Each structure stands twice: as structure tokens, then as C-alpha cells.
């Protein structure tokens, strides 16, 4: 592992992805499909007016590849683009493996709400693979990028930042099959696309990462970072400009306190994962500062591994710690027995909604509140 001062980078406009309140925009990729002709990317908008024609909401969704940093050979033929009004656009039918490697973006919204969501796709056959496609950290934090060795080469590893040379690691510096780059005291200018490549190897064999640095320290937001974040739950990330929680796929609510039904996503749980296997194998990319992750209940480099017992949420990042006989559901967290509620089934008596408080029941498949659901997601503790 090396400690390096993060680079001072000139802003690259396509890395900025949020203006104003959070936009309901999701970029999906099916990681199970490695053949170029079968692989697809889908951008979905849940904004009011989307789906009623391209003029109802403003400019149509744009889904494109950006080659300014990760440069690959030109495709033999352009992929096929299919639209469903202004609510969904899908790109499929790529012609060669190199077409899949690099930075993809979806742009949606109108006026000040125009938002860009980014996704970095790695070759499954690369020499090096990233531990995570995106890393979101706070201003002043230490960011650690880890490139896992898949096919070892007897050469050093070159790290790049936004396409420019950054650092060289000796091949003997690998730790447990990983090359680590540690960046202390990161700043928003440190955000960007990082890559790790074996010396003299094809760039297509690189591990590509995206680093997102919030403009404030942990728990703070605002122009001068003096305002306190609301305390986002279940892996939600506080936006440093407006203080809103950007919720992980499968959760909704002001503080991400509500769980969607299995296989649902979107700010109102209004979208459903395609196919018969739910959200298995899909990666979800949301507006910054969230980045990308597997859907709720799934983990792994291809998002095909179910959470281990006691774990739940996007990337299985959360731990249930259920009390009083509660059981752990890998999609929503603790499911409490009668007479108990709370995130860990730690509260006895009436539910918050029974007592007239703010409800945070599980969302049903139509996006409404499920009155018969027994869920531990009951909002703010206390």
C-alpha cells in the first residue's frame, strides 16, 4: 500500500452529475451478460412527466459512451438504441468486447435539474479488477483503491488519474493479491476516473474505478458545510449541496427509512427489475454522490451472490442485529414479531404509524404503503 497526496485535477464537466434536488434517474447494467451482442445498458427516469412523450418532461434521455478518458477502438458498428417515451432508453447490440470497456453516462432532467449518472464498466477478463466500481468518500477522508490481480504479470503496475500518469507500484508491492493505492485527505478536486494497469499491457486489461468526493466533511452539507445532514439510513448518502439523502436501490423515504418490495427500485419503488431473477446480476448507478452498487440483497463482482445470513441491503453492506426474536430479511433488514418494532426490533408497543407518527412501512409492488407488512424500518430511532 502507498500513501500519496491526491492529485489536484482540473474539473472535467462530465464528472459533475447533480444540480438542485435529487433527480430520480438510474443507470442499469446486467453484469451477467459478458458477450457484446447480449450486453445492455438501460437508463430509467422516474421523474414526473416521464413516459408521456419526449416533450412532456423536456429533453429526452441521453445514454452514451464517453471516450475522453478511457479510450477504446471505435466500434465496428453502432449499437442499437431503443426508447420508451422519455422514461427509458436501452442500448444493446455492441459489436466487440472493447465496446463495453469504459465510461458510460445517462443524462436526464430539464433545466437546473439536468443530471448525469455515470457508470464505469470493466472487462471481466482484465488482468486487474477493481474491488468496487465507485468509491464515495467525504472531504478530508482517506480513499483506498484496491486492484485485485486476476491474471498476474511480472511487471510493475501503473496508476493513472483521469487518463494521466499518477504513480508506479513495484510488482512486489502486491498485498494478498491486491495492489492498493491510498489517498489521504482527499478533496473534491481528487474526484475522477482512476485506473491500474500492468506496465506494457493493453489498457483494456486495466482496473477502472470512479472516486467521488463529497464537498463537505462527514455529516455536513451546504456552501460552507455548516449544516447537519439528516442522518441517511440503510446506506443512503447525504448530498453536500442540498442535504438530501440519495437512497440506495431498494430503499426510499426522506432518510431512506423505507424498504421497497423485493425487485423494486426508484425513489417511489415504482420500477421493477427486468427478467425473472429480480435484481440479481444488475448494477445500479444513481446520481452523485451515491455512485454504483448491486441491488438490495445482492453482492459480488457480478452482483449474483446473495447476502450472507445477518447481512442485507445494497452490496450486503448492512448488518441486521435483530433483537427480541426478529429475523433478518436480506432485502429490507429486521422483520419483527408481533409487539415489537424498530430497526432492530428494539421497541415494544405500538408501531410508529399506529401511534399516529410518521410511517415508514415497506413499500408494496405498486409503490404504495403495505398496510399488512411487518417491517423493522420504522424511521428515526427514539
For the segment 172-204, what is each residue's pLDDT rounded down to a tens digit? 999 999 999 999 999 999 999 999 999 988 889
Would residue 171 count as lying in a domain? yes
Distances (CA, A) of 194 to 143, 302, 351: 12, 20, 46
Assign residue 202 the CATH number of its domain. Answer: 2.60.40.10
Judge whether 157 lies within some domain.
yes
pLDDT, position 124: 87
Q: What CA–CA distance (Å, rounded) separates 196 from 164?
A: 11
Residues of the chain with pLDDT under 70: 1-21, 48-58, 276, 350-382
Partnered with residue 135 across adjacent β-strands are: 211
In this structure, is residue 343 part of a structural domain?
no
Predicted confidence at residue 1, as pLDDT, reads 41
pLDDT (tens digit per residue) in 44-95: 998 865 544 444 445 789 999 988 888 777 777 788 899 887 789 999 989 8
Report the DSSP beta bridge partners of residue 312: 318
Q: 256: part of which helix (H) or strand (E)?
A: none
Q: Whole-angstrom Cα distance, residue 129 to residue 127?
A: 7
Residues 6+ apart with CB under 8 A from 145: 130, 131, 135, 180, 181, 182, 183, 194, 196, 209, 211
| Cell (9 digits) for 285 | 448507478
Look at residue 87 and tell me if it is in a domain: yes
Please report the pLDDT score of residue 235 as a whole number: 94
Distance (Å, rounded) from C-alpha 148 to C-alpha 301?
Answer: 11
* 317: in domain: no
In DSSP notation, 42-90 reads EEEE-STTTTS-TTTSSSPPEEEEE-SSS--PPPSSPPEEEEETTTEEE
Range of the domain at 11: 1-213
Q: How many domains does the chain have?
A: 1
Q: What is the pLDDT of residue 276?
A: 67
In contact, 195 and 70? CB cutoff 8 Å: yes
pLDDT of residue 114: 84
pTM of the model: 0.85
**Coil, strand or helix at 149:** strand
* pLDDT recorded at residue 148: 95
> What pLDDT does residue 356 have?
32
Contact 297, 330 (CB under 8 A): yes
Does residue 226 lie within any of the structural domains? Answer: no
Q: Which three cell numbers stand for residue 351?
A: 408501531
Amino acid at each position: 500500500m502507498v500513501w500519496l497526496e491526491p492529485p489536484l485535477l482540473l474539473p472535467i464537466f462530465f464528472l459533475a452529475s447533480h444540480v438542485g434536488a435529487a433527480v430520480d434517474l438510474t443507470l442499469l447494467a446486467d453484469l451477467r451478460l459478458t458477450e457484446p451482442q447480449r450486453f445492455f445498458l438501460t437508463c430509467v427516469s422516474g421523474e414526473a412527466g416521464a413516459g408521456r412523450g419526449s416533450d412532456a418532461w423536456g429533453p429526452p434521455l441521453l445514454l452514451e459512451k464517453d471516450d475522453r478518458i478511457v479510450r477504446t477502438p471505435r466500434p465496428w458498428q453502432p449499437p442499437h438504441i431503443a426508447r420508451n417515451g422519455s422514461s427509458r432508453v436501452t442500448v444493446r447490440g455492441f459489436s466487440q468486447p472493447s465496446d463495453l470497456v469504459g465510461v458510460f453516462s445517462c443524462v436526464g432532467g430539464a433545466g437546473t435539474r439536468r443530471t448525469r449518472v455515470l457508470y464505469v464498466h470493466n472487462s471481466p477478463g482484465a488482468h486487474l479488477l477493481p474491488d468496487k466500481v465507485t468509491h464515495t468518500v467525504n472531504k478530508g477522508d482517506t480513499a483506498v483503491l484496491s486492484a485485485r490481480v486476476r491474471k498476474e504479470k511480472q511487471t510493475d503496475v501503473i496508476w493513472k488519474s483521469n487518463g494521466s500518469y499518477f504513480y508506479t507500484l513495484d510488482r512486489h508491492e502486491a498485498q494478498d493479491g491486491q495492489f492498493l493505492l491510498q489517498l489521504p485527505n482527499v478533496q473534491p478536486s481528487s474526484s475522477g476516473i482512476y485506473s491500474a494497469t500492468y506496465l506494457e499491457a493493453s489498457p483494456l486489461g486495466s482496473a477502472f474505478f470512479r472516486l467521488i468526493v463529497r464537498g463537505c466533511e462527514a455529516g455536513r452539507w451546504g456552501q460552507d458545510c455548516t449544516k447537519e445532514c439528516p442522518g441517511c439510513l440503510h446506506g443512503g448518502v447525504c448530498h453536500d449541496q442540498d442535504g438530501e439523502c440519495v437512497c440506495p436501490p431498494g430503499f426510499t423515504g426522506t432518510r431512506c427509512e423505507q424498504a421497497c418490495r423485493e425487485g423494486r427500485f426508484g425513489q417511489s419503488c415504482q420500477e421493477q427489475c427486468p427478467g425473472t431473477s429480480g435484481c440479481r446480476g444488475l448494477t445500479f448507478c444513481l446520481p452523485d454522490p451515491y455512485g454504483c452498487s448491486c441491488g438490495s440483497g445482492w453482492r459480488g463482482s457480478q452482483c449474483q451472490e446473495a447476502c450472507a445470513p445477518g447481512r442485507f441491503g445494497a452490496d450486503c453492506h448492512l448488518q441486521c442485529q435483530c433483537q427480541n426474536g426478529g429475523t433478518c430479511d436480506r432485502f429490507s433488514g429486521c422483520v419483527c414479531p408481533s409487539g415489537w418494532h424498530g430497526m432492530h426490533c428494539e421497541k415494544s408497543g405500538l408501531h410508529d404509524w399506529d401511534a399516529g407518527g410518521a410511517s415508514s412501512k415497506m413499500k408494496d409492488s405498486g409503490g404504495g404503503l403495505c398496510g399488512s407488512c411487518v417491517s423493522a424500518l420504522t424511521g428515526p430511532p427514539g
